[in-house]
Amino acid sequence: MKAEKPAPPHYHGHRQRLRARFLTGGLDSLQDYELLELLLTFAIPFSDVKPLAKRLISHFGSFAGVLDASFEELVKVMGLGEYSATLIRLVKGCAEYYLKEQAIQRRSIPSLPVLVDYCRTSLGGLKDEQFRVIFLNSQNEIIAEETIQEGTVDQTVVYPRKVLEAALKHKATGLILVHNHPSGKLTPSAADRELTRAIIQAAQPLAIVVHDHLIIAKQGYYSMAEHHLL
């Protein structure tokens, strides 16, 4: 008697359908867990990864939270191995690099929304505060970006001398200051305002102009230039 062929698993063909939906309808055709599910199929073969995708989003709070998670945090989630965690970190890195090319590695200053998109992707998900400076030449073209200080979740100590030394190193004549607020609060603190004033005052004798100070959070940004605080 001929043995019966085993029934295909319940998720048989699901991966192909997900890929087809993405290719024809783009991101809007998939829910957040389905996007993550499709991504995981490239690292986890022959398995139903929908429960894992939903578990990851539940664990980290959102799709963005999954991409913002560190490698060490990801591999602690049951069912997620090193290959999958590496793939997730790679996707986040590629997205950041793409936006950096759009915002930073072009000769002229991009529009503020493009610059903010890059800064939010790069800084918005960090758990600790980080202070960066974007350096401009006399034609207001971006010539470099540098992280000046990394701090704790509560504060970052940035000395104007560090900022000006970096500006002189890059032969910059203009600066855009950028730092993140992991708390999500967008309004500048008294320390933020004082630091900005101190850098402006220290830069003036060197004929270096501070064009803006951007505060970045997951849900938005605050421009001191837009609020006439420079």
Q: Which of 36, 66, 97 is the last residue of a domain?
A: 97
Tell me if the pTM is above 0.75.
no
46 and 130 inside one domain: no
**Interatomic CA distance for residues 195 and 217, integer angstroms:** 19
Give the list of residues 6+ apart from residue 113 with CB closer than 8 angstroms, or none.
none
Whether residue 6 is contained in a domain is answered as no
45 and 24 inside one domain: yes
Look up the domain containing 75 and give its range. 14-97
84 and 123 inside one domain: no
Q: What is the CATH number of the domain that holds 71?
A: 1.10.150.20
Number of domains in the chain: 2
48 and 120 inside one domain: no
174 and 214 inside one domain: yes
Q: What is the CATH number of the domain that holds 208?
A: 3.40.140.10
**Interatomic CA distance for residues 64 and 68, integer angstroms:** 6
Span 45-88, pLDDT tens digits: 878 889 999 999 999 998 888 998 889 999 999 888 898 999 99
Span 183-208, pLDDT tens digits: 878 888 888 899 999 999 999 999 99
124 and 175 inside one domain: yes
pLDDT > 80? residue 151: no
Whether residue 104 is contained in a domain is answered as no
124 and 148 inside one domain: yes
